Chain A
Amino acid sequence: MVHRQVAAGLLAGFMLSPLAAWAADTIKIGFPMPLSGPTAVYGVPITKGAEMAVADLNAAGGVLGRKLELFSRDSKANADEAVRQARELILKYNVDFLSGTLTSAEAPAVSTIAKENKIVFIASTAKTTQLTAPQNLHPYIFRIASNTLIEGHTGAALMAKWQDVKKVATIAPDYAYGRDAVGAFTEYLKKVRPDIEIVDQQWPRLGEPDFTAFITAQMGKKPDAVFCDVFGGDFATLAKQGAPLGYFKAIENRLIDGGEVATVDLAQALGADYPYGIISDSYDPVVWGEGEPAEHKAYVEKLKKAMNNEYGSGWAIMGYMSIVAISEGIKKAGGTDSDKVAKALLGLTFDTPVGKRTINEKNHETETGEFWSEMVKDPKVPFAVMKKPVYIDPKPYLQ
C-alpha cells in the first residue's frame, strides 16, 4: 500500500516536474488573435511581430534573466472565442499577461476577463474608444493601438488644410469602428472648418462585395473631398470599382482614409490598381525612404526574414510593440506581479522601431498617432508607397 502510494507520488512528481520547472522559468504571455477568416490578414502578421519581439528579447537574455514564452491562439475575430481562450490561458496555462486581440468586439470582452483575474492586458490593435472609457477603465487594461477619436480628429485636421474644399462626403463600414471614427471626424471638422458642409454619408456593410451603388450615389452629391474609413480588402474592392467610374478623378484624389490603407500589405495586393494620390495612414511605413531610423531598418530586415517574404508587413509592429511594452513594464516593476507591472506601465516611455511611445497615466492609452502621407508610385517597388511618411502626434487635436 505504502509502496504503491510512494510510486504514485513519484510518478506524479516525475510527470509534473518538467511542467513545474517550465512554469517557473518562463514569463508567459497569452496572445489571442484572429488567425483564420477574413481578419487573419491582420492577425497573422501581428502575431508574427509578437513572436519576433519574444525571439529578440530571448536572444538578448530574456527579461530579468527569464525567457518569454508566447501562447498564440486563434480568436477567430469572435469576442466569445477570445474570452474563452483568455480564460483558458489564465486558468490552464497560468499566463502572466495577456495581449493581442484585433477587433473592437474582442478587446473590451477580454478586458473584463483581465479585470476579473487581475492580469495585465495590453490590447494591441482595437481602436474603439469604449475600451478605455471611464466606466470601462480598470488598473489592468492598456492600449498600444490608436483610437477612433485620434483617427477622426487627425483626418479632420488634414482635411481642414485644403482651403478650397467646401463639400465633404464620408464613406465608412457600418459598424462601431466606422461610425465612431466618422463621428469623431465630422465633430472635429465642424469645429475647425465650420464653412465645410457634409454633403453625403455612405455606410456600406463590412465585407461589401459591390460598392458601385454607394460610389455613384456619393458622386451624385458632387463632394470636393472624401473622408473614408473603408479598409483592407474592402478598400481594394472600393478602389477597383471606383476608378473606372471616375470616383477618384472627380474628387481629384482628395480622399483621406484613416483605415491604414497605406500599409504595404494592402498596397502590394492592389499593385498598379492603387488609387495614387490619396492620403492614408499606417502604424509602420515599412518602405520608409529618406530619413529612416537605423533601428527601423534593422527591424524590417528581421521582419522580412521572420515572415519569409519580400516586404514584411505594416501590421507586425502592433504585436512587436505590445510585447516590448510588457517587457519594459516587467523591468520597471522588477518582477512579473501584475499589480506591480500595471503600476509600472503608468507613464512608462518605451522605445520602438517607429519611435518612442508613452502610456498616459490617466487613460492607459499610448495615444499613438500614425504615419500619414500621400500615396505615390515608386519605380523601385511594384506597388504604391508613402511619399514622405510623417508621424502625426495627435495630442494637439485631442484638446
Chain B
Amino acid sequence: MSASFLFSQFMGGLTAAMFLFLIASGLSLIFGVLRVLNFAHGSFYMLGAYIAWQIVQWVTVSFPGHFWLAALGAALGVAILGGVIERCLFRFLYDRAELYQLLFTYALVLILGDAAKFAWGTQQLSVSRPEIMNGGLQVLGATVPYYNLFIILIGPAIALAVWLMLTRSPVGRLVRAAALDREMLSALGANVGWIYTGMFMLSALLAGLAGALVTPIQSIVPGMDVEIIVQAFIVVVIGGLGSFWGTFWGSMLYGQVLSFGILIFPGFSLFSVFALMAVILIIRPWGLFGRPIR
C-alpha cells in the first residue's frame, strides 16, 4: 500500500467526517441546550438541499456566485422555518416526557418529508459544483478536489465559531446557564424562551447550510432526511450526547473508521462503523467526551 493511496483514503475520510460534523453539530447543540433529541434535524438538512436547488433554478446560472447565494439563502430559509417551528410547536414540549418529544419530532420528519415531496416531486435533483471549485489539488500523488478541501476547512471553522460563541460571548454565557438551570435563569430575569428559539434557529441554520453544501457532490432525493439522521445520531452518540467537541471528534473517528474499514472488510462497509459504536458504548456508555449522567 503506497503512501499516496493511504493519504487519499485519509482525505476521503476527512471529507466524510466534516460533512457529518456540519449536520451532527446542530443535533448535538439542540440536545446539549434544549435537551431534546430532534429527529427532524435531518429534515432541515433535506430542506436546505431542496431550497438551494430551487434558488439555483431561479437565479440564472451565468450569474457568478449563484451557488454561494443559494447556500446562504437555503441556510437562512431553513433557520427561519426552524424559528417558526420552535415558536409555534416545539416550545410546548420541553416539559413533556422524552417519549412525547421523540414522537413529535418523528411526526415532523413525516410532515416535512411529504411537504418536500409535494413541493419538489420525487425526481432526483442535482446542483453542479460552483465553477471555481472544479478540479483538484495534487498532494502527495493523490487528488484532493477543491470542493472537498473547502468542506474540510469549513467544518473546523464552524466548530471554532460556535465554540467561541458558546464559551466567550455574553450570549454563550446565557445559553450555558439555560442548559444548566432553566428556572433559575428565568427567575433572574433572562428571557429563556428566546434563548431557546435562537439556539434552535442556529441549529436549523447549520442543518440547512449542510444540506445546501452537500448538493454539488450528492443527489437530492426524497429520503435523504432519514438517511442522514441515523449517521448523525451515531456520531453524536460516539462523541457523547450534548458534547460539542465530542461531536467533532466523533465525526473524525467515524470518517476514518469508514474510510479504512472498507480496506480491511471490503464486503462489509458499515460493519466497522457499527462495531466502533458498539465498542464505545460498552466501554464508555456516555460517549467519548460526554459525562456520565447522575
Instruction: With a 10 A CB-CB cut-off, give which of A270, A272, A273 has the most chain B CB atoms.
Output: A273
- Report whether B269 and A205 are in contact in the complex, using a CB–CB cutoff of 8 Å: yes
- Report whether A209 and B218 are in contact in the complex, using a CB–CB cutoff of 8 Å: yes
Q: How far is the CA of A241 from the CA of B220 in the complex (A)?
A: 14
**26 pairs from A and B in contact (CB 8 Å cutoff):** A40-B122, A41-B221, A41-B222, A174-B269, A201-B266, A203-B267, A203-B268, A208-B269, A209-B231, A212-B16, A212-B259, A213-B259, A213-B262, A214-B269, A215-B12, A216-B8, A216-B11, A217-B263, A220-B8, A241-B217, A241-B218, A244-B145, A244-B148, A265-B124, A269-B126, A273-B128
Asked whether B54 is an interface residue with its Cβ less than 8 Å from the other chain, the reply is: no
Asked whether B38 is an interface residue with its Cβ less than 8 Å from the other chain, the reply is: no
Q: How far is the CA of A197 from the CA of B143 in the complex (A)?
A: 26
Q: A212-B15, A220-B9 are in contact. Are A265 and B214 (CB under 8 A)?
A: no
Q: How far is the CA of A158 from the CA of B80 in the complex (A)?
A: 52
- The 7 lowest CB-CB distance pairs between A and B, nearest first, are A244-B145, A38-B223, A236-B219, A40-B122, A212-B12, A213-B259, A233-B221
Q: How far is the CA of A202 from the CA of B270 in the complex (A)?
A: 12
- Report whether B269 and A271 are in contact in the complex, using a CB–CB cutoff of 8 Å: no
Contact with B along A23-46 (1 / 0, CB 8 A): 000000000000111101101100
Q: How far is the CA of A34 from the CA of B262 in the complex (A)?
A: 31
Q: A220-B9, A236-B126, A240-B126 are in contact. Are A202 and B218 (CB under 8 A)?
A: no
Contact with A along B208-232 (1 / 0, CB 8 A): 0000001011111111100110010
- Report whether A207 and B223 are in contact in the complex, using a CB–CB cutoff of 8 Å: yes
Asked whether A314 is an interface residue with its Cβ less than 8 Å from the other chain, the reply is: no
Asked whether A176 is an interface residue with its Cβ less than 8 Å from the other chain, the reply is: no
Asked whether B50 is an interface residue with its Cβ less than 8 Å from the other chain, the reply is: no
- Report whether A203 and B266 are in contact in the complex, using a CB–CB cutoff of 8 Å: yes
Instruction: Choose from A215, A216, A244, A266 the contact partner of B124 (Cβ within 8 Å).
Output: A266
Asked whether B183 is an interface residue with its Cβ less than 8 Å from the other chain, the reply is: no
- Residue of A at shortest CB range from B145? A244
- Report whether A209 and B227 are in contact in the complex, using a CB–CB cutoff of 8 Å: yes
Extra contacts, 10 of them, besides A43-B122, A174-B267 (Cβ < 8 A), are A36-B117, A38-B221, A38-B224, A44-B122, A205-B270, A213-B16, A216-B142, A236-B219, A240-B217, A244-B135
Asked whether B82 is an interface residue with its Cβ less than 8 Å from the other chain, the reply is: no
| Closest beta carbon of chain A to B255's beta carbon, Å | 8
Instruction: Choose from A204, A209, A233, A272 the contact partner of B228 (Cβ within 8 Å).
Output: A209
Q: How far is the CA of A154 from the CA of B227 in the complex (A)?
A: 32
- Report whether A271 and B126 are in contact in the complex, using a CB–CB cutoff of 8 Å: yes
Q: How far is the CA of A207 from the CA of B268 in the complex (A)?
A: 15
- Report whether A207 and B145 are in contact in the complex, using a CB–CB cutoff of 8 Å: no
Interface size class of B (residues with CB under 8 A): 35 or more
- Report whether A240 and B218 are in contact in the complex, using a CB–CB cutoff of 8 Å: yes
- Report whether A269 and B266 are in contact in the complex, using a CB–CB cutoff of 8 Å: no
Q: A202-B266, A237-B218, A240-B218 are in contact. Are A273 and B12 (CB under 8 A)?
A: no
Contact with A along B254-294 (1 / 0, CB 8 A): 00001100110011111000000000000000000000000
A64 surroundings in chain B (CB, below 8 A): none
- Report whether B129 and A269 are in contact in the complex, using a CB–CB cutoff of 8 Å: no
Q: How far is the CA of A320 from the CA of B177 in the complex (A)?
A: 63
Report A158-211 residues with CB < 8 Å from chain B CB. Answer: 174, 200-205, 207-210
Q: How many residues of A contact B (CB 8 A)?
A: 45
Asked whether A245 is an interface residue with its Cβ less than 8 Å from the other chain, the reply is: yes
Asked whether B134 is an interface residue with its Cβ less than 8 Å from the other chain, the reply is: yes
B13 surroundings in chain A (CB, below 8 A): 213
> Contact residues of B with A, CB < 8 Å?
1-2, 5, 8-9, 11-13, 15-16, 19, 114, 117, 121-126, 128-129, 134-136, 142-143, 145-148, 214, 216-224, 227-228, 231, 258-259, 262-263, 266-270
- Report whether B146 and A244 are in contact in the complex, using a CB–CB cutoff of 8 Å: yes
Q: How far is the CA of A246 from the CA of B121 in the complex (A)?
A: 32
Asked whether A259 is an interface residue with its Cβ less than 8 Å from the other chain, the reply is: no
B263 surroundings in chain A (CB, below 8 A): 217
Q: A213-B9, A237-B217 are in contact. Are A269 and B123 (CB under 8 A)?
A: yes
- Residue of A at shortest CB range from B261? A213
- Residue of A at shortest CB range from B231? A209
B12 surroundings in chain A (CB, below 8 A): 210, 212-213, 215-216
Asked whether A232 is an interface residue with its Cβ less than 8 Å from the other chain, the reply is: yes
- Residue of A at shortest CB range from B16? A210
Q: How far is the CA of A203 from the CA of B228 in the complex (A)?
A: 19
Instruction: Choose from A37, A205, A245, A265 the contact partner of B136 (Cβ within 8 Å).
Output: A245
Instruction: With a 10 A CB-CB cut-off, give which of B122, B147, B228 has the most chain A CB atoms.
Output: B122
- Report whether A212 and B148 are in contact in the complex, using a CB–CB cutoff of 8 Å: yes
Q: How far is the CA of A268 from the CA of B5 in the complex (A)?
A: 34
Instruction: With a 10 A CB-CB cut-off, give which of A40, A174, A200, A240 has the most chain B CB atoms.
Output: A240
| Closest beta carbon of chain B to A383's beta carbon, Å | 10
Report A215-255 residues with CB < 8 Å from chain B CB. Answer: 215-217, 219-220, 232-234, 236-237, 240-241, 244-246
B19 surroundings in chain A (CB, below 8 A): 209-210
| Closest beta carbon of chain A to B151's beta carbon, Å | 10
Q: How far is the CA of A40 from the CA of B123 in the complex (A)?
A: 8
